[in-house]
Amino acid sequence: MQVALIILGLSISASMGYIIASSNYQPKLDDDASQITELKSQITSLKNETASLNQTIDQQSKMYLSLFNTSYGASVSRLQAVQIALRSGGWNNTNLGGLEVDTSLIYCRFWYANNGDEKSFEILQYVKAPVSDYFPRAEYNVTDPGAVGGFKGTMWYRYVWLVTVEESGGLQSVPPPGYYYVDASTGEVIPHFGADA
- In a domain, residue 180? The reply is yes
- In a domain, residue 26? The reply is yes
Tell me the pLDDT tens digit for each residue of 166-178.
887 766 666 677 8
- In a domain, residue 40? The reply is yes
- In a domain, residue 195? The reply is no
Residue 99: its pLDDT value, please? 87
In DSSP terms, which residues pair with 36 in a beta bridge? none
3-state helix, strand, coil in the chain (%, to 5): 40, 25, 30
pTM above the 0.85 mark? no
Residue 80: pLDDT band (50, 70, 90) is very high
Percent of residues, the chain, with pLDDT higher than 90: 32
Residue 72 or residue 66, greater confidence: 72
What are 57-64's contacts with CB under 8 Å, separation 24+?
63/100, 63/102
d(CA 112, CA 120): 7
Tell me the pLDDT tens digit for each residue of 4-26.
545 545 455 555 555 555 566 66
43 and 114, same domain (yes or no): no
Q: Is the pLDDT of residue 120 over 80?
A: yes
Which residue range is the domain that position 50 belongs to?
1-68
Written as one letter, the residue type at 184 is A
CB 77: neighbour CB atoms within 10 A? 18
30 and 88, same domain (yes or no): no
